[in-house]
Amino acid sequence: MSTAPETLIRSGWSRATRRLGASSGQGLVELLISLTMLTVVVGGLLSVLDAGQLSLQRADQDGTALTLAEKQLEVYRTVAYANIRLDQTSIDAIPSTDPYVTANAGDSTIPSSAGQVVGGVNGENACTSPLPLQCEPTQNANAEDTPDHRSYRIDTYITYVTPTDGRQTKQVVVVVRDASKTTLPILARLASTFDQANIATG
């Protein structure tokens, strides 16, 4: 015959094993695990979407920069050869620390700010006031004037180039920069060569 203490021990052990075997808290644990996994997945998805959006914005900005560079080159395709030149006074007014002046030191594909084709020299037509677009070494495209509502700076370099056949030509290099950043990083660049057959009077 079992004693009272043994009965109490068996009764307590029975209750303990029933609690351990019960599954009433299992659903809560599974819910917590599911929510944790869902949070990780959603976080990863948001990161991918954010990266995609930034990529699209950059592509849009690069496309606008290329369009601005092409538009500036188009200006020189509509003028006479002697009107493909820059204004020396405007070049001299650019600070020595400006990227227009310093760019050549770090990137030889960009012409030096010195020794460019300027108006009133070597038979080039003088630049008149107000300066026409083809005379301005730097221009600003404000946010309200661009399709993506961003600000850009357009730098134009014009140099004499003499190919192997000895016929002098002019090379126009257009560099478009991100004007919203103080470092003015380059977004696009285009170059085109013009010879004396460029006699349009547009």
> pLDDT tens for residues 142-200?
988 888 889 999 999 999 998 767 788 999 999 999 999 999 999 999 999 998 876 54
Give the Cα-Cα-Cα angle 171, 177, 181 (nearest 5 degrees).
160
Give tens-digit pLDDT for 34-86.
888 888 877 777 777 666 665 555 667 889 999 999 999 999 999 999 999 99
pLDDT recorded at residue 44: 75
C-beta separation of 113 from 96 below 8 A: no
Return the pLDDT at 19.
57
Task: Quote the pLDDT of residue 201.
Answer: 37
Quick one: pLDDT at residue 124? 95
Long-range CB pairs of 32-40, under 8 A, 24+ apart, other chains included: none
- Sheet of strand 138-141: strand arrangement: 138-141, 152-161, 169-178, 186-194
**Distance in Å from the first CA to the final CA of the chain:** 121
Q: Which two tokens stand for residue 35?
A: 């929510």
102-116, 123-137, 160-174: range with lowest mean pLDDT: 160-174
12 has a pLDDT exceeding 80: no
Kindly list the distances between the CA atom of residue 35 and the CA atoms of 23, 43, 46, 48, 96, in Å, as whole numbers in the listed order: 19, 12, 16, 20, 59
**Amino acid code (one letter) for 183:** T
Q: Alpha-carbon distance 194 to 170, whole Å?
A: 5
Looking at residue 14, its amino acid is: S
Contact 151, 141 (CB under 8 A): yes
Length of the chain: 202
Distance, C-alpha 52 to centroid of its chain: 15
